[in-house]
């Protein structure tokens, strides 16, 4: 059923369907690996995608897949940061936005400059 839906779907709808799959896989990888393991999680998402949805490789190149994963991860991070209850339920904790992470790094650098 999913195969037929993807074949008949417009390119935009196909991309939307693949993004939903990538979002679910990214959440799964986040649960498994936790924070600060971006490359390992991305590699795992790619492996799971090809393992579970190998037939989708006809619709997306590995380069496209990597770019789409990056986009999905940015969305996921922002979504989880704006939904603390979802972050707790899905990941068991709080997720920081990229701005919060950068702000923390700047704060750490400011502290290091004072030492």
The answer to whether residues 36 and 17 touch, using CB atoms and an 8 Å cutoff, is: no
In whole angstroms, what is the distance from residue 97 CA to residue 74 CA?
9
Which pLDDT tens digit goes with each residue over 61-84? 889 999 999 999 999 989 888 988
Among 49, 41, 58, 57, smallest CA distance to 20 is for 49
Q: Kindly state the DSSP code that residue 93 receives in the 8-state scheme.
A: S
pLDDT at 35 over 90: no
Reported as a pLDDT band with limits 50, 70 and 90, residue 42 is: very high
Residue-wise pLDDT tens digits, 93-114 = 655 544 544 444 444 444 344 3
Calculate mean pLDDT across residues 44-61. Answer: 87
pTM over the 0.85 mark: no
Distance CA 71, CA 69 (A): 5
Q: Give the length of the chain.
A: 115
């Amino acid at each position: 059923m999913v195969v037929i839906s993807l074949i008949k779907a417009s390119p935009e709808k196909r991309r939307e369907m693949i993004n939903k799959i990538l979002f679910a896989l990214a959440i799964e990888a986040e649960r498994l690996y936790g924070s600060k393991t971006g490359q390992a999680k991305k590699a795992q998402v790619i492996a799971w995608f090809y393992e579970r949805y190998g037939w989708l490789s006809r619709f997306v190149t590995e380069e496209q897949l990597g770019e789409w994963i990056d986009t999905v991860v940015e969305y996921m991070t922002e979504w989880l940061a704006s939904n603390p209850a979802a972050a707790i339920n899905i990941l068991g904790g709080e997720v920081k936005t990229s701005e919060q992470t950068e702000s923390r790094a700047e704060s750490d650098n400011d502290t290091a400059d004072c030492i």
